[in-house]
Chains A and B, each alone.
Chain A
Amino acid sequence: MPYVVEPRDPLTQSEGVVAGYAQTASRWPGQPLARRAPGAAELSGPARLERRLPLGRSDLAGRAPRRAIGQLIEIRARVADEDGTPLAGAMVEIWHCNAAGKYIHPNDANDAPEDPNFYGAARLLTGESGAITLRTVKPGAYPVPDSGGWWRPPHVHFSVWGRVWLSRLVTQMFFPGEPLNEHDAILNAVRDPAARSRCIARLVPKDHILVYEYQMVVRGRNAALAM
């Protein structure tokens, strides 16, 4: 299928040095990014990644007596391209901190407690409708070290692959109604308010669980439809 990926829109995609996020000034390139004409290497991409990245965990909440501490939630996330076509069989990696704001990572120096019944990393494949369902607990907020009082709002990290190399998407999902959303240097680096609001999941309460619906759109569209 001929596929096109257009340059990023600076209103909906953030980049560069961001006020309040000190590391960006040491790490984002000082030189302008070069333009290149995408070729075969950019407009192709990995298929069946589960050959290299083993699938694992679709339930991070667990069951009694080993249930993770925190508010039980279900995340229903869908992956589509710019045409709205769902991506079936696409790999989705998800990671988030526990309900107290602590990650499983050894570099996390936050003194929040670990939860022996929570391991915050899942790797899934989307179904026919391009969707995954993850049962988990709602992550907590946590302070960013040496930042002068920046607290990250509760958020969930996502890593997904689209149809081609340039479709790679790594992002974060936020929760509605969180006061810290208004002050987050990462969420608010997205300048377009509508694009920002699409990063916030929609709450759909069900009988037994709080469901959060979220859609991710990967870059690229069918060239025949793009006319």
Chain B
Amino acid sequence: MRLVPTAEMTLGPFFPPEFAAGANDLTGQVPGEVIEITGRVTQLDGRALDNVVIEIWQADPQGRYDNPDFLGWGRAATDAAGTYRFKTVKPGAPYINFLILYSGLMRQLQTRMYFDRGEADERLVAIREGASRCRFDIRLRGDGETPFFGD
């Protein structure tokens, strides 16, 4: 029997505040280089977006995705200035997977934040702001639009 995946639908504007809070800190599980990732999410006209839900999935500092002692998943929501924030340990992998859910997005958008240029599109490379801070802005549509994946 083969079932067809359920149609994804928009998160809508009213994701419960308690669901969006308190899941953006991945530190304290395993030793590693602590980093902060922040960014701003904007739409076509450049307006910053409030209450965008961003989820991440990353490897542990050794590059493992199946470490039972490290849950490499986190969630943050943007504030009224469109800013999100994660605190985590640097993965032993070139990138962190990002997923974006919001009103006006019929389904999830997928992208990646890379730490170094390498083979990556330069719009997917985090900007270093000091030793332990990365900036990764997300432009949903328009000039400087973030590349997204359609898998």
Contacts and interface: CB of A to CB of B under 8 A. Distances in A.
Given A46-B57, A171-B9, A21 B104 contact: yes
A63 B26 CA distance: 38
Interface stretch (A67-75, A79-87, A175-183, A202-210): A79-87
Contact of A219 (B5, B15, B50, B150): B5
Interface in B117-151: 140-142, 145-151
A23 B72 CA distance: 31
B44 A44 contact: no
Interface residues of A, number: 79
B contact patch SS: loop
Contact of A26 (B59, B66, B68, B104): B104
A36 interface: yes
B12 to A, nearest CB: 6
B97 A170 contact: no
Contacts of A30: 44, 141-142, 145
A132 B134 CA distance: 39
A226 B55 CA distance: 29
Contacts of A143: none
Instruction: List the 3 closest A-B pairs by CB distance, nearest first.
Output: A33-B150, A23-B104, A46-B73
